[in-house]
Structure 1
Amino acid sequence: MLDFAIFAVTFVIILVGAVLYLYPCSRRASGIPGPNPADETDGNLQDIVNKGSLHEFLVGLHQEFGPVASFWFGGRPVVSLGSVETLRQHINPNRTTDSFETMLKSLLGYQSGMGGGAIETMMRKRMYESAIDTSLKKNFPLILKLVEEVVAKWESFPEGQHTPLCAHMLGLAMKTVTQLVLGLRFHDDAKVLGFRKNHDAIWSEIGKGFLDGSLEKSSSRKSQYETALSDMEAQLLSVVQEMRTQQESGTFIDSLLQSNLTERQIMEDSMVFTLAGCVITANLCIWAVHFLSTSELVQEKLYQELDQVLGSDPITLEKIPQLRYCQQVLSETVRTAKLTPLAARLQEVEGKVDQHVIPKETLVIYAMGVILQDANTWKAPYRFDPDRFEEEAAQKSFSLLGFSGKQACPELRFAYTVASILLAALVPRLRLRRLEGQVMEVKSALVATPKDDAWVRVVRRS
């Protein structure tokens, strides 16, 4: 059930490898402290696998070697930064590319637009972000409708019934993103389920089949993966071609059709938004509802804000910025759950952090999961406390990390909007209760997800 949403441990390692493969990398040792390679060929790969995830490996790495540390991916050095201060110092003039998009596209074999100049790359990035914003504005009533369906369903449950949180939030995210990208042709649940089936096949192999070579050893698995990817690409291309002959529909694809991108480029951007948008939106909603269920005080404070700002009126796009406490709840959700524990940048020119020189063409990892729970930056870092974002210092640190403001990736900004709509509809009508004895373990990968499905109890407000 969660195969689509959950990134396997090896997925992040694959993404790192994809960037290292895509770009020529310096083979000079950086002189930055870190472990020796455990193996001449694989570097510290086995150490990462032994820890269970790259995030857990980085936690131990920075505990032992400090906020600037290095390790080896194969025969190449990788630098990891594990504090707000080191990120603030990092010199990275390459502001035109998105690390997630670059790695995901290289993994899927998409090269169009990745070798262009800085101006071309920046223009394509702006078109991508504008298309997301435009489709969100034009389809806001549709999102309200989809959220209302979920909340009404929960409201109809008998008192105390256990609600499968992950399954419902994943369904909401999948319906929202596919309809915003592909249009109302995906209002049929059967079509959405068919689309998701292809997602499952793609992500399951991205998570395990590429790193260990098992995909190449199984002709049936490889055929299933290639068929799913081909089917999804064909479906996206078909929609692109169909929309060229129709009136403006307000979808993501329709917005991109107003640009000078080729049909292939539009299909690739649609694939990236569909994959990333679904995963990030689903997991932000899952964790936000879960954390609310653990704190009646936070629920009540959010309820009061929603009543004051919205009253009995439905939420609007213009009202969302006024919900400051709701924003704090979502920001604290991202921080506490370590929703995005990793990011990466290629060092375009030689840089320096503290006394350490980072050679040109070195992959630099931002150990977000380490930084988001650094006691030097956050008071009581393991506590869910939205009030911490009332302080300007916390807001600035969060923005620097790329989780708020203009630095946030467009998929995360989209997820914040959907999650705000969900909480605005849910909290005034239902009280959320955590199931006693349930532990939500984090599965740390590129996007943090629950290890197993999560459950909540809903109680109607009197």
Structure 2
Amino acid sequence: MGYCLIFDSLSLTLLVIVAILFACYVYNLRKNNLFRRLGIPGPSPIPLLGNLLNIIRKGLYLNDIEMVQKYGNIFGTFEGTIPVIILSDPELLRKVLIKDFHVFTNRRILKGLTGPLEHGLTMLRDDAWKNARTIVSPTFSSAKLKAMHSLIDQIGDGYSKRLLEYADKQEMFDVKLINSQYTLDNIASSLIYLISPRLTSYLGSKGYTLLPTDSMNYLTLLVNEVLDRRRHRIERRNDFVQNMIDHEEEIHNEEIKEQSNENIQQWSSLKKTLSDREILGQALIFLMAGYETTSTLLSFFFYVMAIYPDIQEKIYAEIQQQLGSDEITYDKIHQLVYLDMVINETLRMYPPVLRLERIASTSYDLGEYHIPKGSIIGVPIYAIHHDPAFWSDPEEFIPERFSSTDGGKRYSMIYLPFGDGPR
């Protein structure tokens, strides 16, 4: 009797397991057929793994290039069980990123993310993002960036001295590490007016793309301490946090005036300031988003200077002609036209972000395809920047391709180192 009960129990357990596996298989099979039902071309996925093996073997950027060449400017792929529509058609990109931005406002975000980072601009969605962007954007006006220039210039002097020391020694050094430390110094000074080697030695030498818990806690304490001192007017600086606080006070004064007008109800329905926790979130995102991308750009710029000495000489000649021994100011930097062209071409060939994403908030007609609500649109920036359909000799480093005064129009939607549109 006991053996029968055990046998029946095992049989039932196995039956349940088989039923669950079969249900998962059927669900996965149906999901894998999503793009086939929509009529969107793309590689056949492996159950549960999707097309991840190709990305692992080749790397994301090479895989994107091969897939665009094989399937065209719109195709479907699976990141595990997650379907992603890869889009590189310029006209459709204009609709997704600009014209119909209200449909594609949100990005895919990390699930389970908690703490101050969840309040950062890149993590917010819908109205929360719109409110935060409205508040944060004025802090990056030309006037406020110009006010920070002397501090950035001071950091640059230290950076130049370090490079000259290595040049005098004529020995190999890790340029990515030095650029990472310089970038961190710049961001920390612009963020909370912190000029201290302790931050560089504590964080910069690690070279993390994503900061570990101890570093995040350290930064949180620093920013909170600065916020408290600024709130109590113990100190005042030209930096990001101060700009946020000043903007909040400007809004408060404006609100008092608006309360006497007829649109008081509309005014009071909008959130126009950020809490200290939200300011902290913006500050940390500002640091994380700028740290790796900027240091990577600088490192590739050094690489370009090393392999194209003729370009290096042209940049040097332009600096001598336009600036000479004069002090470098915010306005004079804009006179370095050829340097700007070289930076643009560096960003084209070596974009710091390989893809950007948007999520459809409703069902949408994407060209000839009707995609469902929740569809993820992936924009393969690297593949677009290296597509011969858009660029002549895309694997050649040609700064002059950015020399035309109407370059912005010619390269709209095919030059996307920082994305495009409101977000």
- Give 1:454's aligned residue: none
Matches within 5 A, 1:347-426: 347-391=360-404, 394-401=407-414, 403=416, 407=420
- Give 1:413's aligned residue: none
- Give 2:189's aligned residue: 179
In structure 2, the residue corresponding to 1:400 is in which secondary structure? Answer: coil
Conserved? CA contact 1:97–1:122, under 8 Å: no
Amino acid at match of 1:257: I
Residues 405 and 31 of structure 1: CA distance in aligned 2, closer, same or farther (over 3 Å): closer
Conserved? CA contact 1:241–1:263, under 8 Å: no
1:68 to 74, 96, 99: 74
- Give 2:43's aligned residue: 35
- Give 2:20's aligned residue: none
Matches within 5 A, 1:72-87: 72-87=78-93
Write the deviation string for residues 406-435 of structure 1: whole angstroms up to 9, x where unpaired.
Answer: 94899xxxxxxxxxxxxxxxxxxxxxxxxx
Amino acid at match of 1:239: V
Residues 285 and 168 of structure 1: CA distance in aligned 2, closer, same or farther (over 3 Å): same
Once the two structures are TM-superposed, the CA of residue 326 in structure 1 deviates from its matched residue by: 1.5
For 2:419 and 2:381, the matched residues in 1 are separated by 18
Conserved? CA contact 2:152–2:189, under 8 Å: no
For 2:384 and 2:368, the matched residues in 1 are separated by 20
Write the deviation string for residues 149-170 of structure 1: whole angstroms up to 9, x where unpaired.
Answer: 2223333442744343212211
Give the gaps of 5 or more residues in structure 2: 1-30, 249-272
2:239 to 251, 276, 298: 251
Residues 89 and 264 of structure 1: CA distance in aligned 2, closer, same or farther (over 3 Å): closer
| Rg larger for | 2
- Give 1:124's aligned residue: 132
User: Is 1:241 aligned to residue 228 of structure 2?
Assistant: yes
Amino acid at match of 1:203: L
User: Is 1:143 aligned to residue 147 of structure 2?
Assistant: no
2:291 to 250, 272, 278: 278
Matches within 5 A, 1:280-319: 280-319=293-332
Conserved? CA contact 1:402–1:409, under 8 Å: no
User: Is 1:345 aligned to residue 358 of structure 2?
Assistant: yes
For 1:153 and 1:338, the matched residues in 2 are separated by 26
Write the deviation string for residues 20-79 of structure 1: whole angstroms up to 9, x where unpaired.
Answer: xxxxx9x9543310122211x34223333233x333332222222111110123434210
Residues 81 and 361 of structure 1: CA distance in aligned 2, closer, same or farther (over 3 Å): same
2:56 to 20, 43, 49: 49
Amino acid at match of 1:242: R
For 2:398 and 2:307, the matched residues in 1 are separated by 11
In structure 1, the residue corresponding to 2:358 is in which secondary structure? Answer: strand
For 2:161 and 2:43, the matched residues in 1 are separated by 54
For 2:43 and 2:388, the matched residues in 1 are separated by 24
Residues 180 and 298 of structure 1: CA distance in aligned 2, closer, same or farther (over 3 Å): same
Q: Provide the TM-score with structure 1 as the length reference.
A: 0.68
Conserved? CA contact 1:131–1:256, under 8 Å: yes
In structure 2, the residue corresponding to 1:376 is in which secondary structure? Answer: coil
For 1:269 and 1:230, the matched residues in 2 are separated by 15
Once the two structures are TM-superposed, the CA of residue 379 in structure 1 deviates from its matched residue by: 1.0
For 1:281 and 1:44, the matched residues in 2 are separated by 30
Amino acid at match of 1:346: I
Conserved? CA contact 1:198–1:228, under 8 Å: no
- Give 1:193's aligned residue: 201
- Give 2:347's aligned residue: 334
Residues 107 and 305 of structure 1: CA distance in aligned 2, closer, same or farther (over 3 Å): farther
Once the two structures are TM-superposed, the CA of residue 97 in structure 1 deviates from its matched residue by: 5.0
2:164 to 155, 170, 186: 155
Once the two structures are TM-superposed, the CA of residue 364 in structure 1 deviates from its matched residue by: 0.2
For 1:193 and 1:95, the matched residues in 2 are separated by 44
For 1:37 and 1:405, the matched residues in 2 are separated by 30
Once the two structures are TM-superposed, the CA of residue 121 in structure 1 deviates from its matched residue by: 2.8
In structure 2, the residue corresponding to 1:366 is in which secondary structure? Answer: strand
Residues 199 and 171 of structure 1: CA distance in aligned 2, closer, same or farther (over 3 Å): closer
Conserved? CA contact 1:92–1:348, under 8 Å: no
For 2:215 and 2:279, the matched residues in 1 are separated by 19
Conserved? CA contact 1:198–1:232, under 8 Å: no
Residues 386 and 56 of structure 1: CA distance in aligned 2, closer, same or farther (over 3 Å): same
Conserved? CA contact 2:385–2:415, under 8 Å: no
Give the gaps of 5 or more residues in structure 1: 1-24, 205-224, 411-462
Write the deviation string for residues 303-348 of structure 1: whole angstroms up to 9, x where unpaired.
Answer: 2322332232122112233322111111000011133221111123
For 2:206 and 2:418, the matched residues in 1 are separated by 33
Once the two structures are TM-superposed, the CA of residue 362 in structure 1 deviates from its matched residue by: 0.5
Ranked by relative contact order (alpha carbons within 8 Å, sequence separation 6 or more), the top structure is 1
Conserved? CA contact 1:97–1:125, under 8 Å: no
Q: Provide the TM-score with structure 2 as the length reference.
A: 0.74
Cα RMSD over matched residues?
3.3
Residues 115 and 297 of structure 1: CA distance in aligned 2, closer, same or farther (over 3 Å): closer
